Amino acid sequence: MSEEKKIPYKIYLEENEMPASWYNVRADMKNKPAPLLNPGTLKPLTFEEMRGIFCDELCRQELDDTTAYFEIPEEIRKFYKMYRPSPLVRAYCLEEKLQTPAKIYYKFEGNNTSGSHKLNSAIAQAYYAKKQGLKGVTTETGAGQWGTALSMACAYLGLDCQVYMVKCSYEQKPFRREVMRTYGANVTPSPSNTTEVGRRILEEFPGTTGSLGCAISEAVEAATTQEGYRYVLGSVLTQVLLHQSVIGLEAKAAMDKYGIKPDVIIGCAGGGSNLGGLISPFMGEKLRGEADYRFIAVEPASCPSFTRGKYVYDFCDTGKVCPLAKMYTLGSGFIPAPNHAGGLRYHGMSSVLSQLYADGYMEAVSVEQTSVFKAAEEFARVEGILPAPESSHAIKVAIDEALKCKETGEEKTILFGLTGTGYFDMVAYERYNNGEMTDYIPNDEELAKGLAGVPKFPGNEI
Ligand SMILES: *Cc1c(COP(=O)(O)O)cnc(C)c1O
């Protein structure tokens, strides 16, 4: 025990130990993720087609499957230093509470005002837009973390920021909305009548409270119809995983410093950006045959893209204005049951993680929300941090793995991503505390309805 205690509660890197480059795991993948397709021609999306939507440097990053390292520009590193390096925490108190021989570590990304890891990519995307001389960017936000992160990045760089916020969140999370407005963003509830696709969706589904897929359609239209604007996305895309690799690079550097090697690495998976970022450098070692790790993606049982979705080309948005991506998907029309409280509600999954999962490099499990909130409560009470519901999916499975070690007596080292804090999720916590939270697992027929919307073309059968 005394020797073990030499590892501090919190491992911080020095500023000069922070990564100077992002790592692109695609460079080490033998089977590259499938390219985005133009939905009209079904041909891979070219740089020329993409640059109307995303700014040029981000198109290059999106398309680059071979460059292993991208230098992080000085201005982005400067911004990172305001809230990074983020701590790698040894969960001594949780271990003690569980009476497990497992060693549990978490990488905490909630230590900034946006309350999540999303700021890592927001500042990068805003930086490249600014560098290209654009006026502003448009985006969607669901729970609000991404919109907040982007507002912060845009405020810092002096860019205009237009956020389409899923209507039910806009109404349920007025404080999130006000944080964004405080940072100067323009926030519109989606679907709205400010876009053609929004008007079309409102006509077809009057009274709808919106979805992420729908807000994406509106934000893309807003970007492509205004001079000097581009669209940015907070998850799913390969460029976002690239920026988020800073999480894994820091975690690995901190562990290497103390000679710690994780056996299991766990992350929650919505669109896959934090998980992809956390595992990237470790996955790189596994792909190159230098080391072995178990990787576990955790998703909600009410939105089970990996565990029950299909690996096919699908639309990224409800309005079907975006390119097609090959990914594990539940269909772009899939909307989780209204009682689902915990985020991670996107119908698809990163194409990089999808390919790694299809190739057997990664596992996935789905968990029910009451068990997730129970894990969140247990964690909060011993480790102090009030976790975001999304992050709590990873906590739940980390606890499960630690309890398995208790049974077998194995001293495994577990690393999980604690992506953010849950201060804006108190309505969900309230439901849990009142005993009003229920679980809902869609049946096969319900899932079949969503999957029926997957585009049909030769080679893309379900
Ligand atoms: C957005 C978000 C997630 C899920 O997104 P990924 O792209 O899958 O990482 C998880 N946790 C928090 C706190 C988030 O804000």
Nearest to 371 by CA among 328, 400, 349: 400
What is the CA(53)–ligand 1 centre distance, in A? 23
CB 346 within 8 A of CB 353: no
Asked whether the CA dihedral 137, 143, 146, 152 is positive or negative, the reply is positive
Structure-derived torsion over alpha carbons of residues 151, 112, 175, 230, reported in degrees to the nearest 10:
20
Q: Can you tell me which atom of ligand 1 is nearest the CA of 235?
A: 7
HSE-CB for 360 with a 13 A CA cutoff: 0
**C-alpha 112 – ligand 1 centre gap (Å):** 14
- The alpha carbon of 7 and the centre of ligand 1 are apart by a number of angstroms equal to 28
Q: Does the beta carbon of 269 lie inside 6 Å of ligand 1?
A: yes
Q: What is the pLDDT of residue 55?
A: 95
Residue ID of nearest Cα to ligand 1 atom 10 = 390
Kindly report the protein residue whose alpha carbon is nearest to atom 2 of ligand 1: 390
Q: What are phi and psi of 78, to 5 degrees?
A: -65, -45
pLDDT of residue 2: 46
Confidence at residue 13, expressed as pLDDT on a 0 to 100 scale: 95
The CA distance from 378 to 396, in Å, is 10
Instruction: Identify the pLDDT of residue 1.
Output: 45
Q: Is the CB of 114 under 6 A from ligand 1?
A: no
- Residue 236 CA: nearest ligand 1 atom is 7
Indicate if ligand 1 lies below 6 Å from the C-beta of 273. Answer: yes
Strand spans (E) along 132-172: 136-141, 160-166
Local structure of 261: helix, strand or coil: coil
Residue 444 CB contacts under 8 Å (≥ 6 apart), including other chains: none
Nearby residues of 205 by Cβ (< 8 Å), 6 or more positions away: none
Q: Which H or E run includes 325? A: strand 324-329
What is the pLDDT tens value at each position of the chain, 462 positions in all?
445 558 999 999 999 999 999 999 999 999 999 999 999 999 999 999 999 999 999 999 999 999 999 999 999 999 999 999 999 999 999 999 999 999 999 999 999 999 999 999 999 999 999 999 999 999 999 889 999 999 999 999 999 999 999 998 898 889 999 999 999 999 999 999 999 999 999 999 998 888 888 899 999 999 999 999 999 999 999 999 999 999 999 999 999 999 999 999 999 999 999 999 999 999 999 999 999 999 999 999 999 999 999 999 999 987 788 899 999 999 998 888 888 887 888 899 999 999 999 999 999 999 999 999 999 999 999 999 999 999 999 999 999 999 999 999 999 999 999 999 999 999 999 999 999 999 999 999 999 999 999 999 999 988
Q: How many Å lie between the centroid of ligand 1 and the Cα of residue 420?
A: 8
CB-ligand 1 contact for 145 (6 Å cutoff): yes
pTM attached to this predicted model: 0.97
Find the 40 Cα to ligand 1 centroid distance in Å: 31
